[in-house]
Structure 1
Amino acid sequence: MLIASYNKETMGDILITMIRPDAEEAKIEQKGSVVRIADAKTNETTGFNFLNVSEIFEINGKGPITLTQEQVKQLNATLSANGFEAELVADERPKFVVGYVKSTKPHPDSDHLLITETEVDNGETLQIVSGSPNMTDNIKVVVAKVGAIMPDGMIIWPGELRGVESNGMISSGRELHLNNAPQKKGALILPDDFVVGEAFDFEKGNHIFD
Protein backbone atom coordinates (compact mmCIF):
# COMPACT_ATOMS: atom_id res chain seq x y z
CA MET A 1 0.00 0.00 0.00
CA LEU A 2 1.21 3.50 -0.80
CA ILE A 3 -0.61 6.71 0.11
CA ALA A 4 0.86 10.05 -0.95
CA SER A 5 -0.17 13.64 -0.29
CA TYR A 6 1.24 17.02 -1.27
CA ASN A 7 0.15 20.55 -0.39
CA LYS A 8 2.84 23.15 -0.98
CA GLU A 9 0.69 26.02 0.32
CA THR A 10 0.30 24.59 3.81
CA MET A 11 3.17 22.07 4.18
CA GLY A 12 5.88 23.46 1.94
CA ASP A 13 7.64 21.42 -0.73
CA ILE A 14 7.18 18.13 1.14
CA LEU A 15 5.74 14.90 -0.21
CA ILE A 16 4.15 12.82 2.54
CA THR A 17 3.96 9.07 1.95
CA MET A 18 2.43 6.37 4.13
CA ILE A 19 2.68 2.60 3.76
CA ARG A 20 1.11 1.57 7.08
CA PRO A 21 -1.22 3.15 9.66
CA ASP A 22 0.36 5.49 12.21
CA ALA A 23 1.79 3.68 15.23
CA GLU A 24 0.78 4.51 18.80
CA GLU A 25 4.37 5.59 19.39
CA ALA A 26 6.44 6.84 16.47
CA LYS A 27 10.19 6.98 15.91
CA ILE A 28 11.51 9.76 13.65
CA GLU A 29 14.80 9.54 11.76
CA GLN A 30 16.13 12.06 9.23
CA LYS A 31 18.92 11.51 6.74
CA GLY A 32 19.53 14.27 4.26
CA SER A 33 16.27 15.25 2.59
CA VAL A 34 14.30 12.22 3.81
CA VAL A 35 12.45 11.71 7.09
CA ARG A 36 11.52 8.15 8.04
CA ILE A 37 8.61 7.55 10.42
CA ALA A 38 8.50 4.12 12.06
CA ASP A 39 6.73 2.19 14.81
CA ALA A 40 8.88 2.71 17.91
CA LYS A 41 8.13 -0.82 19.14
CA THR A 42 8.56 -2.86 15.96
CA ASN A 43 10.72 -0.50 13.88
CA GLU A 44 8.40 -1.10 10.90
CA THR A 45 8.30 1.87 8.56
CA THR A 46 4.95 3.65 8.51
CA GLY A 47 5.97 6.34 6.01
CA PHE A 48 8.52 8.73 4.58
CA ASN A 49 8.49 12.50 4.14
CA PHE A 50 10.50 13.77 1.17
CA LEU A 51 11.73 17.32 1.71
CA ASN A 52 12.24 19.55 -1.34
CA VAL A 53 10.51 16.94 -3.47
CA SER A 54 10.47 19.27 -6.51
CA GLU A 55 14.19 18.51 -6.80
CA ILE A 56 13.19 14.90 -7.52
CA PHE A 57 10.16 15.54 -9.77
CA GLU A 58 7.47 18.17 -10.28
CA ILE A 59 4.04 17.73 -8.73
CA ASN A 60 1.03 19.52 -10.17
CA GLY A 61 -1.98 20.05 -7.93
CA LYS A 62 -2.45 19.39 -4.25
CA GLY A 63 -3.99 16.85 -1.95
CA PRO A 64 -3.88 13.08 -2.55
CA ILE A 65 -1.34 12.15 -5.24
CA THR A 66 -1.27 8.96 -7.32
CA LEU A 67 2.41 8.28 -7.91
CA THR A 68 3.45 6.65 -11.16
CA GLN A 69 5.80 3.69 -11.41
CA GLU A 70 8.57 6.05 -12.59
CA GLN A 71 8.01 8.48 -9.70
CA VAL A 72 8.15 5.64 -7.16
CA LYS A 73 11.36 4.45 -8.80
CA GLN A 74 12.83 7.94 -8.33
CA LEU A 75 11.71 8.08 -4.70
CA ASN A 76 13.25 4.67 -4.00
CA ALA A 77 16.50 5.89 -5.56
CA THR A 78 16.35 8.89 -3.22
CA LEU A 79 15.81 6.57 -0.24
CA SER A 80 18.83 4.49 -1.21
CA ALA A 81 20.97 7.56 -1.77
CA ASN A 82 20.14 8.73 1.75
CA GLY A 83 20.85 5.40 3.42
CA PHE A 84 17.30 4.07 3.74
CA GLU A 85 15.81 0.85 2.43
CA ALA A 86 13.98 1.34 -0.89
CA GLU A 87 10.65 -0.08 0.25
CA LEU A 88 8.03 1.92 -1.66
CA VAL A 89 5.80 -0.02 -4.06
CA ALA A 90 3.73 1.81 -6.68
CA ASP A 91 -0.06 1.54 -6.43
CA GLU A 92 -1.83 3.23 -9.35
CA ARG A 93 -5.20 1.56 -8.83
CA PRO A 94 -8.16 3.92 -8.25
CA LYS A 95 -9.18 4.24 -4.62
CA PHE A 96 -12.78 5.39 -5.20
CA VAL A 97 -14.65 2.89 -7.35
CA VAL A 98 -18.21 2.02 -8.30
CA GLY A 99 -19.19 -1.02 -6.26
CA TYR A 100 -22.10 -3.43 -6.29
CA VAL A 101 -23.57 -4.71 -3.03
CA LYS A 102 -24.13 -8.39 -3.78
CA SER A 103 -25.45 -9.37 -0.36
CA THR A 104 -25.96 -8.16 3.20
CA LYS A 105 -26.38 -9.95 6.51
CA PRO A 106 -26.83 -8.78 10.08
CA HIS A 107 -23.78 -8.08 12.22
CA PRO A 108 -23.68 -10.61 15.09
CA ASP A 109 -22.93 -7.93 17.69
CA SER A 110 -24.98 -4.97 16.48
CA ASP A 111 -28.61 -4.17 15.75
CA HIS A 112 -27.78 -1.54 13.10
CA LEU A 113 -24.63 -2.71 11.32
CA LEU A 114 -24.73 -4.94 8.25
CA ILE A 115 -21.96 -7.09 6.78
CA THR A 116 -21.88 -6.63 3.02
CA GLU A 117 -20.20 -8.56 0.23
CA THR A 118 -19.44 -5.80 -2.26
CA GLU A 119 -17.94 -6.25 -5.72
CA VAL A 120 -15.38 -3.62 -6.73
CA ASP A 121 -12.84 -3.42 -9.57
CA ASN A 122 -11.20 -6.40 -11.30
CA GLY A 123 -14.03 -8.63 -10.09
CA GLU A 124 -12.77 -8.45 -6.50
CA THR A 125 -15.31 -8.81 -3.70
CA LEU A 126 -14.72 -7.06 -0.38
CA GLN A 127 -16.30 -7.60 3.01
CA ILE A 128 -17.37 -4.15 4.18
CA VAL A 129 -19.31 -3.46 7.36
CA SER A 130 -21.83 -0.64 6.90
CA GLY A 131 -24.07 1.30 9.25
CA SER A 132 -25.98 3.07 6.47
CA PRO A 133 -29.71 3.01 7.24
CA ASN A 134 -30.54 2.52 3.53
CA MET A 135 -28.13 -0.36 2.96
CA THR A 136 -29.60 -3.28 1.04
CA ASP A 137 -28.73 -5.89 -1.58
CA ASN A 138 -28.38 -5.21 -5.31
CA ILE A 139 -27.42 -1.53 -5.30
CA LYS A 140 -24.56 0.38 -6.88
CA VAL A 141 -22.51 2.42 -4.42
CA VAL A 142 -19.24 4.32 -4.10
CA VAL A 143 -16.56 2.30 -2.31
CA ALA A 144 -13.61 4.10 -0.74
CA LYS A 145 -11.04 1.31 -0.86
CA VAL A 146 -8.23 0.79 1.62
CA GLY A 147 -5.71 3.56 0.94
CA ALA A 148 -8.30 6.16 -0.05
CA ILE A 149 -8.05 9.65 1.41
CA MET A 150 -11.53 11.06 2.03
CA PRO A 151 -12.23 14.73 1.21
CA ASP A 152 -12.08 15.55 4.94
CA GLY A 153 -8.58 14.00 5.16
CA MET A 154 -9.54 10.71 6.80
CA ILE A 155 -7.53 7.74 5.49
CA ILE A 156 -9.25 4.40 4.94
CA TRP A 157 -7.32 1.53 6.52
CA PRO A 158 -8.23 -2.13 7.01
CA GLY A 159 -10.12 -2.48 10.25
CA GLU A 160 -12.79 -4.15 12.32
CA LEU A 161 -16.21 -2.99 13.46
CA ARG A 162 -17.25 -4.76 16.64
CA GLY A 163 -14.98 -7.69 15.88
CA VAL A 164 -15.87 -8.14 12.20
CA GLU A 165 -13.27 -7.43 9.52
CA SER A 166 -14.04 -4.54 7.18
CA ASN A 167 -11.96 -3.58 4.15
CA GLY A 168 -13.06 -0.20 2.84
CA MET A 169 -16.05 2.07 3.30
CA ILE A 170 -19.32 2.44 1.43
CA SER A 171 -19.65 6.21 1.22
CA SER A 172 -22.44 8.76 1.39
CA GLY A 173 -22.74 11.81 -0.82
CA ARG A 174 -22.02 13.94 2.25
CA GLU A 175 -18.79 12.05 2.99
CA LEU A 176 -17.71 12.48 -0.64
CA HIS A 177 -18.47 16.23 -0.46
CA LEU A 178 -20.68 16.04 -3.56
CA ASN A 179 -22.61 19.14 -4.58
CA ASN A 180 -26.05 19.43 -2.94
CA ALA A 181 -25.68 16.06 -1.20
CA PRO A 182 -28.13 15.50 1.70
CA GLN A 183 -26.41 16.21 5.00
CA LYS A 184 -27.47 12.96 6.63
CA LYS A 185 -26.38 9.37 7.01
CA GLY A 186 -26.97 6.92 4.20
CA ALA A 187 -25.05 5.30 1.37
CA LEU A 188 -25.03 7.09 -1.96
CA ILE A 189 -27.04 4.79 -4.24
CA LEU A 190 -25.80 5.38 -7.77
CA PRO A 191 -27.92 5.52 -10.94
CA ASP A 192 -27.73 2.66 -13.44
CA ASP A 193 -25.43 4.53 -15.83
CA PHE A 194 -22.49 4.12 -13.41
CA VAL A 195 -20.47 1.02 -14.31
CA VAL A 196 -19.42 -1.40 -11.57
CA GLY A 197 -15.65 -1.66 -11.29
CA GLU A 198 -14.87 1.70 -12.87
CA ALA A 199 -13.21 4.56 -11.00
CA PHE A 200 -15.87 6.84 -9.51
CA ASP A 201 -16.16 10.00 -11.61
CA PHE A 202 -16.44 12.85 -9.07
CA GLU A 203 -17.33 15.37 -11.78
CA LYS A 204 -20.25 13.21 -12.88
CA GLY A 205 -21.13 12.52 -9.27
CA ASN A 206 -21.43 16.23 -8.54
CA HIS A 207 -24.54 16.31 -10.77
CA ILE A 208 -26.40 13.46 -9.09
CA PHE A 209 -28.30 15.82 -6.78
CA ASP A 210 -29.02 18.52 -9.38
Structure 2
Amino acid sequence: MNVFYNKQGIGDTLLVSMKEIDKTKRSVENVGDVARLYHKDSEETVGYHIFNASSYGTIDRTGMLAVTGSLLDTVQTALKANGIKEQLELPEKPSFVVGYVKDKKKHPDADKLSVCQVETGDGTHQIVCGAPNVAKGQNVVVALPGATMPTGMKIKKSKLRGVASHGMICSAKELVLPDASKEKGILVLDESYEIGSDFLAQYHG
Protein backbone atom coordinates (compact mmCIF):
# COMPACT_ATOMS: atom_id res chain seq x y z
CA MET A 1 0.00 0.00 0.00
CA ASN A 2 1.24 3.48 -0.91
CA VAL A 3 -0.26 6.78 0.20
CA PHE A 4 0.35 10.16 -1.45
CA TYR A 5 -0.70 13.66 -0.34
CA ASN A 6 0.01 17.07 -1.87
CA LYS A 7 -2.53 19.69 -0.79
CA GLN A 8 -0.94 22.45 -2.86
CA GLY A 9 -0.71 20.32 -6.00
CA ILE A 10 -3.95 18.30 -6.03
CA GLY A 11 -6.00 19.61 -3.12
CA ASP A 12 -6.93 18.06 0.22
CA THR A 13 -6.97 14.52 -1.16
CA LEU A 14 -5.27 11.33 0.03
CA LEU A 15 -4.41 8.94 -2.79
CA VAL A 16 -4.27 5.37 -1.53
CA SER A 17 -2.84 2.81 -3.97
CA MET A 18 -3.19 -0.87 -3.10
CA LYS A 19 -2.71 -2.72 -6.39
CA GLU A 20 -1.65 -1.86 -9.92
CA ILE A 21 -4.07 -2.65 -12.73
CA ASP A 22 -4.48 -1.63 -16.35
CA LYS A 23 -6.42 1.64 -16.53
CA THR A 24 -8.79 0.09 -19.04
CA LYS A 25 -9.83 -2.42 -16.35
CA ARG A 26 -10.39 0.18 -13.63
CA SER A 27 -13.74 1.56 -12.53
CA VAL A 28 -14.64 4.14 -9.90
CA GLU A 29 -17.43 4.20 -7.33
CA ASN A 30 -18.04 7.52 -5.55
CA VAL A 31 -19.40 7.40 -2.00
CA GLY A 32 -19.44 10.79 -0.23
CA ASP A 33 -15.86 11.92 0.24
CA VAL A 34 -14.43 8.64 -1.03
CA ALA A 35 -13.83 7.37 -4.55
CA ARG A 36 -13.24 3.62 -4.54
CA LEU A 37 -11.10 2.37 -7.41
CA TYR A 38 -11.77 -1.25 -8.32
CA HIS A 39 -11.25 -3.89 -11.01
CA LYS A 40 -14.38 -3.78 -13.16
CA ASP A 41 -14.39 -7.55 -13.70
CA SER A 42 -13.49 -8.93 -10.27
CA GLU A 43 -14.71 -5.83 -8.34
CA GLU A 44 -11.57 -6.08 -6.19
CA THR A 45 -10.61 -2.77 -4.56
CA VAL A 46 -7.31 -1.43 -5.88
CA GLY A 47 -7.25 1.96 -4.21
CA TYR A 48 -9.09 4.96 -2.77
CA HIS A 49 -9.14 8.70 -3.29
CA ILE A 50 -10.20 10.39 -0.05
CA PHE A 51 -11.39 13.98 -0.49
CA ASN A 52 -11.40 16.56 2.34
CA ALA A 53 -8.85 14.24 3.92
CA SER A 54 -7.71 16.61 6.68
CA SER A 55 -11.22 16.55 8.16
CA TYR A 56 -10.66 12.89 9.10
CA GLY A 57 -7.25 13.23 10.74
CA THR A 58 -4.03 15.22 10.90
CA ILE A 59 -1.89 15.12 7.75
CA ASP A 60 1.20 17.26 8.18
CA ARG A 61 3.41 15.88 5.43
CA THR A 62 3.62 16.19 1.65
CA GLY A 63 4.46 13.61 -0.98
CA MET A 64 4.76 9.87 -0.45
CA LEU A 65 3.78 9.15 3.16
CA ALA A 66 4.97 6.40 5.49
CA VAL A 67 2.06 4.02 6.13
CA THR A 68 1.89 4.27 9.92
CA GLY A 69 -0.80 3.26 12.36
CA SER A 70 -1.83 6.90 12.70
CA LEU A 71 -2.18 7.38 8.94
CA LEU A 72 -4.07 4.13 8.61
CA ASP A 73 -6.47 5.31 11.35
CA THR A 74 -7.15 8.45 9.29
CA VAL A 75 -7.91 6.35 6.21
CA GLN A 76 -10.14 3.96 8.17
CA THR A 77 -12.00 6.86 9.79
CA ALA A 78 -12.74 8.30 6.36
CA LEU A 79 -13.90 4.97 4.96
CA LYS A 80 -16.16 4.26 7.93
CA ALA A 81 -17.65 7.77 7.91
CA ASN A 82 -18.60 7.29 4.27
CA GLY A 83 -20.16 3.88 4.73
CA ILE A 84 -17.31 1.72 3.46
CA LYS A 85 -16.73 -1.33 5.64
CA GLU A 86 -13.42 -2.55 4.22
CA GLN A 87 -10.66 -2.92 6.82
CA LEU A 88 -7.12 -2.09 5.73
CA GLU A 89 -4.03 -3.50 7.42
CA LEU A 90 -0.53 -2.18 7.85
CA PRO A 91 1.89 -3.61 5.29
CA GLU A 92 4.15 -6.37 6.61
CA LYS A 93 7.19 -4.44 5.38
CA PRO A 94 7.80 -1.04 3.80
CA SER A 95 8.03 -0.65 0.04
CA PHE A 96 10.77 2.00 0.14
CA VAL A 97 13.77 1.13 2.29
CA VAL A 98 17.23 2.49 2.97
CA GLY A 99 19.85 0.51 1.10
CA TYR A 100 23.64 0.45 1.02
CA VAL A 101 25.54 0.10 -2.26
CA LYS A 102 28.08 -2.63 -1.51
CA ASP A 103 29.42 -2.84 -5.04
CA LYS A 104 29.03 -1.21 -8.44
CA LYS A 105 30.20 -2.52 -11.77
CA LYS A 106 29.70 -1.42 -15.36
CA HIS A 107 26.86 -3.13 -17.20
CA PRO A 108 28.37 -5.55 -19.74
CA ASP A 109 26.09 -4.38 -22.55
CA ALA A 110 25.20 -0.75 -21.80
CA ASP A 111 27.65 2.10 -21.22
CA LYS A 112 25.22 4.24 -19.21
CA LEU A 113 24.01 1.47 -16.86
CA SER A 114 25.60 0.14 -13.68
CA VAL A 115 25.03 -3.19 -11.95
CA CYS A 116 24.85 -2.58 -8.20
CA GLN A 117 24.77 -4.95 -5.25
CA VAL A 118 22.61 -3.26 -2.63
CA GLU A 119 22.12 -4.38 0.98
CA THR A 120 18.56 -3.69 2.14
CA GLY A 121 18.52 -5.27 5.59
CA ASP A 122 16.97 -8.54 4.45
CA GLY A 123 19.73 -9.51 2.04
CA THR A 124 21.52 -8.16 -1.01
CA HIS A 125 19.58 -7.14 -4.11
CA GLN A 126 21.13 -6.80 -7.54
CA ILE A 127 19.81 -3.59 -9.10
CA VAL A 128 20.61 -2.14 -12.51
CA CYS A 129 20.81 1.64 -12.24
CA GLY A 130 21.17 4.33 -14.90
CA ALA A 131 21.94 7.26 -12.59
CA PRO A 132 25.30 8.93 -13.29
CA ASN A 133 25.98 9.58 -9.60
CA VAL A 134 25.48 6.10 -8.15
CA ALA A 135 28.60 4.84 -6.38
CA LYS A 136 29.90 2.16 -4.05
CA GLY A 137 29.53 3.08 -0.38
CA GLN A 138 26.38 5.18 -0.69
CA ASN A 139 23.22 5.02 1.38
CA VAL A 140 20.31 5.14 -1.06
CA VAL A 141 16.54 4.72 -1.32
CA VAL A 142 15.44 1.38 -2.77
CA ALA A 143 11.97 0.67 -4.14
CA LEU A 144 11.58 -3.06 -3.56
CA PRO A 145 9.74 -5.36 -5.98
CA GLY A 146 6.01 -4.81 -5.40
CA ALA A 147 6.37 -1.10 -4.63
CA THR A 148 4.19 1.33 -6.56
CA MET A 149 5.79 4.62 -7.58
CA PRO A 150 3.86 7.93 -7.42
CA THR A 151 3.48 7.70 -11.21
CA GLY A 152 1.57 4.44 -10.78
CA MET A 153 4.42 2.29 -12.10
CA LYS A 154 4.86 -0.95 -10.18
CA ILE A 155 8.38 -2.14 -9.47
CA LYS A 156 8.94 -5.72 -10.58
CA LYS A 157 11.83 -8.13 -10.88
CA SER A 158 13.06 -7.68 -14.41
CA LYS A 159 16.02 -7.77 -16.76
CA LEU A 160 17.68 -4.68 -18.21
CA ARG A 161 19.73 -5.43 -21.29
CA GLY A 162 19.98 -9.05 -20.19
CA VAL A 163 20.98 -8.43 -16.54
CA ALA A 164 18.60 -9.24 -13.66
CA SER A 165 17.41 -6.27 -11.59
CA HIS A 166 15.44 -6.69 -8.36
CA GLY A 167 14.24 -3.23 -7.38
CA MET A 168 15.05 0.38 -8.22
CA ILE A 169 17.39 2.94 -6.69
CA CYS A 170 15.31 6.13 -6.52
CA SER A 171 15.83 9.82 -7.09
CA ALA A 172 14.13 12.45 -4.95
CA LYS A 173 12.13 13.51 -8.00
CA GLU A 174 10.82 9.97 -8.56
CA LEU A 175 9.68 9.90 -4.93
CA VAL A 176 8.04 13.34 -5.35
CA LEU A 177 9.85 14.70 -2.31
CA PRO A 178 9.10 18.39 -1.68
CA ASP A 179 12.80 19.36 -1.67
CA ALA A 180 13.75 17.29 -4.74
CA SER A 181 16.77 18.51 -6.66
CA LYS A 182 16.32 19.42 -10.32
CA GLU A 183 19.63 17.75 -11.14
CA LYS A 184 19.59 14.23 -12.52
CA GLY A 185 20.68 11.42 -10.26
CA ILE A 186 19.66 9.25 -7.35
CA LEU A 187 19.05 10.55 -3.85
CA VAL A 188 22.14 9.94 -1.70
CA LEU A 189 21.39 9.71 2.02
CA ASP A 190 23.64 10.55 4.94
CA GLU A 191 24.82 8.02 7.50
CA SER A 192 22.00 8.81 9.94
CA TYR A 193 19.66 6.62 7.87
CA GLU A 194 19.53 3.04 9.12
CA ILE A 195 20.06 0.34 6.48
CA GLY A 196 16.89 -1.68 5.94
CA SER A 197 14.60 0.83 7.65
CA ASP A 198 11.47 2.45 6.22
CA PHE A 199 12.86 5.44 4.31
CA LEU A 200 9.63 7.44 4.39
CA ALA A 201 9.25 7.01 8.16
CA GLN A 202 12.80 8.33 8.72
CA TYR A 203 12.49 11.11 6.16
CA HIS A 204 9.22 12.43 7.58
CA GLY A 205 10.23 11.68 11.17
- Which protein, 1 or 2, shows the higher relative CO under an 8 Å CA cutoff with sep ≥ 6? 2
Aligned pairs (5 A) from 1:16-35: 16-25=15-24, 26-35=26-35
What residue ranges of structure 1 are gaps of 5+ in the alignment?
A: 203-210
Local SS of the residue matching 2:71: helix
CA distance in 1, matches of 2:190, 2:56: 42
Q: CA deviation at 1:182?
A: 9.2
CA distance in 2, matches of 1:57, 1:189: 32
Q: CA deviation at 1:14?
A: 1.5
Q: Report Cα offsets for 1:74-111 as digits up to 9, x if no partner.
A: 4235435523422343578483524223465856xx43
Look up the match of 1:208: none
Sequence identity percentage: 24
CA distance in 2, matches of 1:117, 1:158: 17
Aligned pairs (5 A) from 1:73-152: 73-80=73-80, 82-90=83-91, 93=94, 95=96, 97-102=98-103, 106=107, 110-112=109-111, 113-120=113-120, 122-132=121-131, 138-146=136-144, 147=147
CA distance in 1, matches of 2:190, 2:55: 44
Q: CA deviation at 1:115?
A: 4.2
Local SS of the residue matching 2:23: coil
Look up the match of 1:4: 3
**1:169/1:68 CA distance change after superposition, 3 Å:** same
Q: CA deviation at 1:174?
A: 7.9
CA distance in 2, matches of 1:70, 1:135: 34
RMSD across aligned positions (CA): 4.2
**1:111/1:91 CA distance change after superposition, 3 Å:** same
Letter in 2 for 1:83: I
Look up the match of 1:158: 155
CA distance in 2, matches of 1:68, 1:56: 15
Q: Report Cα offsets for 1:130-187 as digits up to 9, x if no partner.
A: 2346767x432413324475xxx546632234476544322468868899x79456x6
Contact 2:72/2:88 (<8 A) preserved: no
**1:45/1:95 CA distance change after superposition, 3 Å:** same
Letter in 2 for 1:10: G
Deviates more, 1:29-38 or 1:74-83: 74-83
Deviates more, 1:64-73 or 1:98-107: 98-107
What residue ranges of structure 2 are gaps of 5+ in the alignment?
A: none
Q: Which structure is larger by alpha-carbon Rg, 1 or 2? A: 1
Letter in 1 for 2:53: V
Letter in 2 for 1:144: V
Q: CA deviation at 1:44?
A: 3.3
Contact 2:96/2:142 (<8 A) preserved: yes
TM-score, normalized by length of structure 2?
0.66
**1:129/1:156 CA distance change after superposition, 3 Å:** farther
Local SS of the residue matching 1:139: coil
CA distance in 2, matches of 1:182, 1:33: 35
Letter in 1 for 2:167: G
How many equivalent residue pairs? Answer: 194
Contact 1:100/1:196 (<8 A) preserved: no
